[in-house]
């Protein structure tokens, strides 16, 4: 059972010394927060970072249809990426380059398809020899594992029931790199299906809210890595802004329920998606810490309809029923 006391009842619970200590702590916290902080100017980076998928130290099926490359981009010169800067070798024979075909994607990334199939048990090295501002390009090692059927399903969306209202750092274009918003948020993650599990290190993930890509950055200068969100691969954070901040680059979700899903793809393969999870975030609410408790005598609950679309509702703080005298 998830039972919450009213504000009036809560005042009678702590002892006087505890309340004095709490008051002192609050005063100190307020004084610290009230101190003005100088605005930090956001300097544009010289280079936009590159990356590969799969990531370093991962294992993928040997029948992988391709690999992903995001070139390093020099923002000052605008130099076009050159696939000739990428090398594919084996860890056992780093001096022998393996031929591949690089195909440009609409967003500027590339799909790399080795001319010969990967060999199970072999560890490969994928490296971008281009430099930007003196910094080397990305380099990863990965191992070819057993073949696996291409996935036809992705899995389901799992939520963290402990999401709460609080401060969240979001990218801004107002002069600094990021700004703080007051928001209620919820972490989500993918529970992969059996046929998607072998491909987790190669799948390119994106989050979809209201059938639109949900692409959030915590700072204007730090885009998410390829195939990942600002919270990682197969993970994300959805939020609703509670106090408007005109400097924030992302308003978050509006009031009401929103269908949320993960979508993922492999090279030269149509994307696959999870079923929608219907999420509603309320700014005057908390999330049920024990969603399995369905006692309707009072408390916090989440409900699961019989359709493939799940419903998760964060209820407002409930007042305890008046006791019979």
pLDDT tens-digit map of 238-286: 999 999 999 999 989 999 999 999 999 999 899 999 999 999 999 985 5
The pTM of this model reads 0.74
State the average pLDDT over residues 123-133. Answer: 93
Domain boundary among 92, 115, 145: 145
Q: What is the pLDDT of residue 189?
A: 97
- For residues 186 and 237, membership in a common domain is answered with yes
* Range 101-117 average pLDDT: 95
Cα dihedral 120, 206, 51, 178 sign: negative
Alpha helices, DSSP H, located in the chain: 7-10, 16-34
Res. 162 pLDDT band, cuts 50 70 90: low
111 and 222 in a common domain:
no
Q: pLDDT tens, 32-48?
A: 333 334 345 788 778 88
* pLDDT of the residue at 286: 52
pLDDT(303) > 60: no
Domain end (from 83, 114, 145) = 145
125, 222: one domain? no
Q: What is the reported pLDDT for 285?
A: 56
Same domain, 163 and 278: yes
- Residue 75's domain comprises 47-145
- Are 139 and 159 part of one and the same domain? no
**pLDDT above 80: residue 118:** yes
pLDDT at 300 over 80: no
Q: 117 in helix, strand or coil? A: coil
| Same-domain status, 131 and 167 | no
Is 203's pLDDT higher than 60?
Answer: yes
Asked if 111 and 165 sit in the same domain, the reply is: no
């Amino acid at each position: 059972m998830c039972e919450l006391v009213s504000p009036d009842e809560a005042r009678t619970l702590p002892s006087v010394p505890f309340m004095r200590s709490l008051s002192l702590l609050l005063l100190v916290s307020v004084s610290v927060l009230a101190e003005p902080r100088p605005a930090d100017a956001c300097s544009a980076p010289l280079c936009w970072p590159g990356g590969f998928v799969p990531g370093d130290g991962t294992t993928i099926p040997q029948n992988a249809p391709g690999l992903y490359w995001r070139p390093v981009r020099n923002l000052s010169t605008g130099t076009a990426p050159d696939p000739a800067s990428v090398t594919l070798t084996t860890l056992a024979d780093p001096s022998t380059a393996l031929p591949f075909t690089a195909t440009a994607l609409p967003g500027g990334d590339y799909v790399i398809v080795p001319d010969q199939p990967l060999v199970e048990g072999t560890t490969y090295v994928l490296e971008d020899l281009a430099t930007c501002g003196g910094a080397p390009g990305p380099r990863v090692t990965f191992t070819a594992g057993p073949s696996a059927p291409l996935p036809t399903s992705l899995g389901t969306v799992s939520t963290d029931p402990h999401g709460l209202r609080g401060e969240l750092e979001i990218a801004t274009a107002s002069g600094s790199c990021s700004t703080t918003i007051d928001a209620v948020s919820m972490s989500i993650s993918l529970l992969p299906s059996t046929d998607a599990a072998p491909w987790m290190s190669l799948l390119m993930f994106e989050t979809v809210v209201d059938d639109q890509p949900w692409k959030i950055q915590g700072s204007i200068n730090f885009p998410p890595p390829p195939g990942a969100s600002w919270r990682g691969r197969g993970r994300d954070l959805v939020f609703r802004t509670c106090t408007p901040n005109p400097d924030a680059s992302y308003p978050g979700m509006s009031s009401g329920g929103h269908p949320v899903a993960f979508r993922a793809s492999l090279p030269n393969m149509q994307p696959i998606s999870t079923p929608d999870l219907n999420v509603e975030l309320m700014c005057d609410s908390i999330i049920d810490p024990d969603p399995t408790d369905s006692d309707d005598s009072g408390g916090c609950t989440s409900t699961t309809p019989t359709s493939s679309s799940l419903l998760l509702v964060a209820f407002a703080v409930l007042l305890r029923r008046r006791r019979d005298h």
